[in-house]
Amino acid sequence: MVIIINKRLLNNIYREVKKSKEIVIARHIGPDPDAVASTIALRDSIRITFPQKKVYAVGATVSRFKAYGSLDHPNFNNLNNPLLIVLDVPNMHRIDGIDDLAYSKIIKIDHHPKEDINAYLDWTDTAKSSASQMVCELILNTKLKMNKKIAENLFLGIVSDSERFSLKNTTYETFDTVKELLRVSKIDFVPLYDILYNRPFSEHKFIAYITNNLTIDQNKFGYIIIKDDVLKEYNVDSATPSNLINNYHFINDLLVWAFVTEDIKNDIYKVSIRSRGPIINNIASKYNGGGHKFASGAKPKTMEEVNNLLNDLSKACLEYENKDI
Ligand code: AMP
């Protein structure tokens, strides 16, 4: 059985779901597999448990993630103050697809450090590997139902956000939850890795481009600025670098690394940052960003801001290297 400390909170979340006739589930903009998988899994679980309810998973559709299932585009005018459940996001302005939604209250389930979302029920736990792990624990410990597709999505979300159980956010609880998930669902999980890790050869060439052009400074800080024409040349989009950045976790010469991608459409730079030691989310938050201690993102608007961010990250590496001297 999965060990849960906050059983009462989970029961309260379940009770609120049971009480609500209409529910909208949302996650962060620029979603990753965990955000998409946890949202769709929770929607599907509520739907099969309470078929009479109206339950919607909202947010922009990302074609790369179509294997997880489709999202909903309800007309909010037809809803009557639904319950809003937000997953995998701590800040109000980063919730995707709820503009113009008049909701009654918010339930929040998230593993990022707390920010400005003020929820009626708030399950924030930065010790969890992923939002998918949290949704999985919610389902396994309440009367919410599971099926094969839900289990597959949750497995994918956990594997992806923990980078195959290799990141610091992986704990014995993660394994405990996954063990229970596999035991009750009996899913054939090995073929699922294709969904996360199969890539076209052009994307592998793009990985080679990043590797060949990554600058690593004397403080073990690595960075690359990826221009729009390079994205076009390799037939990838501005979201691709953040999907590849975890590949660089096991490189001795790197302490922190940042991929800066030109986002012409939105006239900003999209920065993904990862760390093997220094805390980076406090730095990212100075540049229109945030995230986890060791996995963050930012959206600086000018090249000057980008340079300042890169300098701050390099300095954090130097301070980290010198801290025991
Ligand atoms: P990414 O590099 O895009 O995969 O993001 C890593 C982590 O940082 C995720 O948890 C994101 O939700 C978070 N994050 C990314 N960009 C931002 C941003 N501009 N503001 C706040 N958090 C962000």
pLDDT of residue 129: 98
- pTM score, whole prediction: 0.95
For ligand 1, atom 17: residue with the closest CA: 297
Task: Tell me: do 189 and 226 sit in the same domain.
Answer: no
Separation of alpha carbons 279 and 294, rounded Å: 6
Indicate if 318 and 219 belong to the same structural domain.
Answer: yes
Q: Are residues 208 and 157 in the same domain?
A: no
106 in the same domain as 48: yes
At 134 the pLDDT is 98
Q: Which atom of ligand 1 is nearest to the CA of 30?
A: 3
**Residues 48 and 185 grouped into a single domain:** yes
Which residues contact ligand 1 via a Cβ below 6 A? Answer: 28, 30, 32, 94, 112, 242, 272, 288-292, 295-299
Residues 208, 102, single domain; the answer is no
Residue 2 domain-assigned (yes or no): no
Which range marks the domain in which residue 305 is found? 204-322
The number of the ligand 1 atom at minimal distance from the alpha carbon of 298 is: 19
Q: Ligand 1: which of 38, 92, 94, 301 to mutate, judged by most atoms within 8 Å of the beta carbon?
A: 94
Q: Which of 195, 218, 239 is the last residue of a domain?
A: 195
Residue identifier of the C-alpha nearest atom 13 of ligand 1: 291
Q: Report the nearest atom of ligand 1 relative to the CA of 239.
A: 3
Nearest CA to ligand 1 atom 11: 291
User: Would residue 171 count as lying in a domain?
Assistant: yes
In this prediction, the residues of the chain whose per-residue pLDDT falls under 70 are 1-5, 325
Domain boundary among 164, 195, 226: 195
Do both 190 and 288 map to the same domain? no
What's the gap in Å between 215 CA and the centre of ligand 1? 22
For ligand 1, atom 4, the nearest C-alpha belongs to 242
Ligand 1 mean position to 272 CA, how many Å? 7
In 3-state terms, what secondary structure has residue 25?
A: strand
Most ligand 1 atoms within 8 A of CB, residue of 296, 299, 301, 313 to mutate = 296
CATH code assigned at 83: 3.90.1640.10
Q: Write down the pLDDT at residue 323.
A: 86
Let me know if 13 is exposed, middle or buried by CB neighbors in 10 A (0-12, 13-18, 19+). buried
Q: Which domain CATH number covers 287?
A: 3.10.310.30
Q: What is the model's pLDDT at position 4?
A: 55
Res 5: pLDDT: 63
What is the CB neighbour count within 10 angstroms for residue 52? 6
- What pLDDT sits at residue 3? 55
Supply the residue whose CA is at minimum distance from atom 2 of ligand 1: 272
Q: Which residue puts its alpha carbon closest to atom 16 of ligand 1?
A: 297
Contacts of 116 (CB under 8 A, 6+ apart): 90, 91, 92
Number of domains in the chain: 2
User: For 85-132, what is each residue's pLDDT tens digit?
Assistant: 999 999 999 999 999 999 999 999 999 999 999 999 999 999 999 999
- Rounded to the nearest whole angstrom, what is the distance from the C-alpha of residue 87 to the centroid of ligand 1? 14
Write down how long the chain is: 325
Nearest CA to ligand 1 atom 6: 296
Distance 271 CA to ligand 1 centre (A): 8
Examine residue 1 and state whether it is found in any structural domain, yes or no: no
Please report the atom of ligand 1 found closest to the CA of residue 273. Answer: 2
Residues 191 and 107 in one domain: yes
How far is Cα 245 from Cα 19, in angstroms, rounded to an integer?
A: 41
**Phi and psi torsions of 72, nearest 5°:** -110, 150
pLDDT for residue 325: 63
pLDDT given at position 6: 85
